Amino acid sequence: MLLGKKLKEIAEIAGCSESLLSKLENGHANPSVRMLHRIAMALEINVASLFEDDGSTTGLVTRAEDRPLIDTEPSRGGHGVRMQRLIPYADGHLLQGNIHIVEPGGESAGYLEHVGEEIGYVIEGEIELTVGDEVVQLRAGDSFNFRSERPHKYRNPGSSVAHIVWVNTPPTF
């Protein structure tokens, strides 16, 4: 039991089977980002806490060589996307900043919707960002902002790797 909830109740809230939760817990399956969000909501926690750092790099400065790199492919269901944390996750942070590294042809795993707000700045390369019904092409130097409750996804239609500084509040991944 977690938070007084039985596995069956968590599965019902998350919209999955108890079997899937067991496989995830034992490392025999990889959830999509949507499933991670649903499980986190069922557990009444933040998705980012599932990727919590060990605390060894906390402090005022995080050196480039010490930034955690998360390969999102197994957990997100998309492909060609990695995230480099600007600072390690810690409970209590109001913001979360990452550098999204998107390979040519790489894309997020479908639409996401969650509480909060997001801003981004394309450092290099290009991405196609879809927010709701709007589809915009962004290139190096462009920035964006949207409410996270709006369904959103992105992809790299270009021929070079894209790097995007992506900040959201509250921390969600």
* 81 CB neighbour count, 10 Å cutoff: 22
Mean pLDDT of the chain: 83
Q: By C-alpha distance, which of 98, 40, 89, 111 is closest to 71? A: 98
The confidence score (pLDDT) of residue 90 equals 77
Q: Residue for token digits 């899937």?
A: 20
**pLDDT band with cut points at 50, 70 and 90 for residue 140:** very high
Of the ranges 33-42, 51-60, 64-73, 131-140, the best mean pLDDT one: 131-140
pLDDT of residue 47: 66
Which CATH number, 3.20.20.70, 2.60.120.10, 2.60.120.510, 3.40.710.10, labels domain 64-169? 2.60.120.10
Asked whether residue 159 carries a pLDDT value surpassing 80, the answer given is: yes
Domain ranges of the chain: 7-51, 64-169
Q: What is the average pLDDT across 104-117?
A: 90
- What tokens were used for 133? 């019904």
- pLDDT greater than 70 at residue 76: no
Average pLDDT of the residues in 124-134 = 98
Q: Residue 119 carries which DSSP code?
A: E
Q: Other CB atoms closer than 10 Å to residue 143's CB: what's the count?
A: 11
> Which CATH code is given to the segment(s) 7-51?
1.10.260.40
Apex 116 CA angle, 110 and 119, nearest 5 = 75
Backbone torsion region of residue 116, taken as left when φ is above 0, otherwise alpha when ψ lies between -120 and 50, otherwise beta: left
Is the pLDDT at 154 greater than 50, yes or no?
Answer: yes
